[in-house]
A and B are shown apart, each in its own frame.
Chain A
């Protein structure tokens, strides 16, 4: 009890009252989460303001509800300012006093955020108490320039075979995940976060999952999955659910980027998932229309491209002089009926360094993840791919392309020559190998070994239908008896002659032990 009394005494004695003159305004009009304010002549864009409901109340009434209601100035007008209300807009009324806080909208960042779920303002919403040891950082800032960056050269392993083999992602890259609803976009992002568990803790990226306009039940499920898998120990979740005001949905990805930048500037790697930017664009459109900004195409404001480009430009791989940290961005875009030529998808496609296309048709055919590897690209990732993966995955794209060409002839299989039939079977096997269950990312060395086996004909003795089953058996076998080979690949990140010979030996043993179903 004494320590509590002492702590309160300390707080009271250290209290300093506000001195001097403050700049204030008065709410002229409010509605739909927007407030029009008279005064605040010296206010600047993106500045925080505080709506003060205590001003006209007695002390007793004022202390009943002291929760701060913040606002963000987004329009500077001739006779006042317009601001979005970042909280319960119903508490803001006409004539209410508004104080300038003279600081840009900032959120608390720090190591203590790891493992926590916070809202778009950085306030914890997981009931685990206040954040300790944080510093305030503005959520909007200029991205790093050319001279501050270094080329992307380190891979970030997703644990998804088709991505790591054919669409590799580098640390500091911006790779878009795009597809219709229910095609597994979020699953790819979450699997990527889960897969970081298998990385060396020293180089493991801090993952930030930003849920924009998602159902709270979905976010809760994701948090539960991450917790269950032990991934929350290196993950931060920023949530702005669909029930939040549009202003908070607009701020959430910027909050995620700010948190990621904190780790990047401290020489660490960070991975931020923006799930999803389509909802973000809709929230920004709503806000812009309420702020009376002129609408453009599809009623989006003119600066919608700039909104996403300034967000995604913040992903970077910093130079050694700046600590060598990185911020990788995985934005997600939801398309309607597979239309990638809509306004927001084309914008984000042009901003990012590569795209992973997910197709509903593939998903319905049972191809999981439903990635169309033919049109998916990674523009900078190949330079970040490990030697081991480069060596084993070289042939896959070609084989799959040939398979797609011949796929149409599959129904005439009885009339096909043996060479064509062989190519089709090989393609089908490869397609089966690339299938992967959700929530089951595979460690990099295992991926490389499985793909090596597939591209070097170790599954040729099995029928295409049995390939998935055999692949699972191979993984079990390698975990049991090939641990030394896997360890060598993990540590050296390449498959040299020695390792290749050992791997071949293991694969030969596996094939010899398995009874082929067809020749």
Chain B
């Protein structure tokens, strides 16, 4: 039930028919009337998950292996429509960069290349 409420709230906000404050007021009124106020904490937790998920998919995560590659990575990411100012340094990438936004990934890291090469050599299909 809490998932359904959270999903409905998300859709209401997406439709832009009500402001977020209006939705919150309407929700509280409805829960009070129907005697379902105990669902409130569960709905809140679900909304947090949805918000986190949205943030994960809508924001750009850009990682570089070394700080020296920062500018190049920002430019390359921008070229594929993944604009951001925040860059994370992840040494395990070995070299290059990788960027992810909204279900799309561009992985030009040395680690990926080495793993793929290892798989190709060891008959991985």
Contact = CB atoms under 8 A, between A and B. Distances in A.
Interface string B82-125: 00000000001010000010111111100111111111111111
B78 interface: no
Interface stretch (A19-27, A260-268, A361-369): A19-27
Contacts of A8: 121
Given A11-B120, A59-B111, A99-B105, 6 more contacts: A12-B117, A15-B116, A21-B104, A22-B104, A24-B104, A63-B118
A11 B53 contact: no
15 contacts: A15-B117, A17-B108, A18-B116, A22-B105, A24-B100, A24-B103, A24-B104, A25-B103, A26-B56, A38-B53, A54-B115, A59-B111, A59-B115, A66-B124, A99-B105
Contacts of B116: 15, 17-18
Interface in B30-56: 53, 56
B80 interface: yes
Contacts of B119: 66, 68
A199 B8 CA distance: 66
A316 to B, nearest CB: 29
Contact of A59 (B80, B92, B102, B125): B92
A34 to B, nearest CB: 17
Given A18-B107, A24-B103, A11 B92 contact: no
A130 to B, nearest CB: 6
Interface string A21-42: 1111110100000000011110
Interface string A95-112: 001010000000010000
Contact of A20 (B53, B106, B124, B125): B106
Contacts of B7: 79
Contacts of B120: 11, 15
A57 B57 CA distance: 21
A460 to B, nearest CB: 64
Nearest to A22: B105
**Interface SS of A by simple majority:** mixed
A17 B116 CA distance: 7
Interface string B55-70: 0110000000000000
Nearest to B121: A11
Closest 7 CB pairs of A and B: A39-B103, A58-B92, A24-B105, A11-B121, A22-B105, A17-B113, A15-B117
Nearest to B80: A21
Interface residues of A, number: 31
A59 B124 CA distance: 17
B94 A59 contact: yes
A12 B121 contact: yes
Contacts of A79: 7
Contacts of A66: 115, 118-119, 122, 124
A63 B119 CA distance: 9
A21 to B, nearest CB: 5
Given A15-B117, A59-B115, A66-B115, A21 B92 contact: no
Contacts of B118: 63, 66
A41 B116 CA distance: 25
A125 interface: no
A62 interface: yes
Contacts of A24: 100, 103-105
Contact of A23 (B104, B123, B125): B104
A22 B92 contact: no
A78 B95 CA distance: 37
Interface string A47-75: 00000001001110011001010000000
A12 B118 CA distance: 9
Nearest to A8: B121
Nearest to A68: B124
B121 to A, nearest CB: 5
Contacts of B121: 8, 11-12
Contacts of A130: 123
Interface in A410-427: none
A10 to B, nearest CB: 10
Nearest to A97: B105
Contact of A38 (B57, B94, B108, B114): B57
A302 to B, nearest CB: 24
B109 to A, nearest CB: 10
B57 A59 contact: no
B105 A40 contact: no
B104 to A, nearest CB: 5
A57 B92 contact: yes
A58 B119 CA distance: 16
A127 to B, nearest CB: 15
A40 B106 contact: no
A97 B115 CA distance: 15
A488 B105 CA distance: 69
Contacts of B106: 20-22
Nearest to B100: A24
Contacts of A15: 116-117, 120
Contacts of A99: 105
Contacts of A57: 92
B19 to A, nearest CB: 23
A396 to B, nearest CB: 52
A21 B105 contact: yes
Contacts of B100: 24
Contacts of B92: 57-59
A108 B123 CA distance: 13
Contacts of B122: 66
B98 to A, nearest CB: 9
A87 B94 CA distance: 29
Contacts of A12: 117, 121
Contacts of B112: 17-18
Nearest to B103: A39
